[in-house]
Amino acid sequence: ISSAMDNMYNVSSSLVLTGFNLSSENVAPTFLFATLSYMIILFCNLMLILTIVLNKSLHQPMYLILLNLPINDLIGSSGLFPQVIKEILTNSRTIQYSACVAQAFFIHIYAAGTVFTLTAMAYDRYIAICWPLKYNTIMTNAHIMKIITAVWMSCLVLIGVLFLLLLRLPRCRSEMTHPYCDNPSLLALVCEDTTINNIYGLFTVAFSQVIANVMILYTYLQILVACFRSKRSATKAKALQTCATHLIVFLLLEGLGLFTIISYRIKNISPHLRRFMGVSTLIFPPTVNPIIYGLKTKEIREKVVHFFRNKNLPC
């Protein structure tokens, strides 16, 4: 369908990205920064995944839900960095349309998946802190699997429909307005009416934001009330530390993500700032998440330290 539409409008199957417009002296430092950032993201997230998977003591609801966060971070960063590194190294700004759609799909899966995973983690902490005696009864393995399945199915359905609506439309342009591919940039290549796409795109953003913000606001308020009612100072401190860590990660993602979304609808905003914030959404959360959860979570930190001290995989 896509190739037939391309022929109808006589457009190339390759797209031209905006690029980062690097000077010759900035190519090497930018390449090193991008490569090092990707390696750090791969190392930290894979370490977190292996630590949780290979330690049976960490096969608990909190960590099984947390496991989805580094997996999702790897999807997002791997959707971005290989193409960006190739672009910097070869000074080539072209990308196949099919590869661009695939990159955009995985980046949007990452964005939605992170929001829903953080929401599921907030729900888990709410049950653990506000209903500690019922925690094991409520958070059974079957219930955890339902939560994780709901997170991924929601992402796949919402983003899948978004891209099915995009692919039905013919395009008549080949020049992207962004250094990487996402739905708004691909939609700008289309020559037909995109009203349905715009409405559905706003719906997916509104739906995910309402679900996430309402759930997190409600659970955190309940957790704060429970903490202040608790007479155990150690329990209160641990609960507040967990919530603060979770809130920092959530606010970082929300701030970067919402700015990127809003920037597409503000014509006067600097394109350099838009590119920087867009790329930051795919660099900082995947880098910070495993470090925060790895260092701030005592059980995970102990297993990682044990791994490096013994030079073998934990068991």
Q: What is the CATH number of the domain that holds 279?
A: 1.20.1070.10
Q: How confident is the model at residue 173 (pLDDT cuts 50, 70, 90)?
A: confident
Q: How confident is the model at residue 137 (pLDDT cuts 50, 70, 90)?
A: very high
**How confident is the model at residue 106, as a pLDDT?**
95
User: Bigger pLDDT: 152 or 300?
Assistant: 152
Residue 152 domain flag = yes
Residue 142 pLDDT exceeds 70: yes
**How confident is the model at residue 112, as a pLDDT?**
92
Q: Is 273 exposed, middle or buried (0-12, 13-18, 19+ CB in 10 A)?
A: exposed
- Distance between CA atoms of residues 138 and 13, nearest Å: 51
User: Bigger pLDDT: 40 or 295?
Assistant: 40
Residue 304 domain flag = yes
Mean pLDDT of the chain: 83
**CA triple 257-259-164, angle to 5 deg:** 55
The dihedral over CA atoms of 125, 131, 133, 139, expressed in degrees to the nearest 10, equals -50
- Structural domains of the chain, count: 1
Residue 74 domain flag = yes
**How confident is the model at residue 223, as a pLDDT?**
83
- Distance between CA atoms of residues 6 and 105, nearest Å: 20
- Distance between CA atoms of residues 159 and 155, nearest Å: 6
Residue 201 domain flag = yes
Residue 294 domain flag = yes
**How confident is the model at residue 251, as a pLDDT?**
81
Give the structural domain span for 92: 2-310
Percentage of the chain beyond pLDDT 70 is 87
Residue 285 domain flag = yes
Question: What is the pLDDT averaged over residues 242-271?
Answer: 74
Residue 315 domain flag = no
- Distance between CA atoms of residues 309 and 296, nearest Å: 19
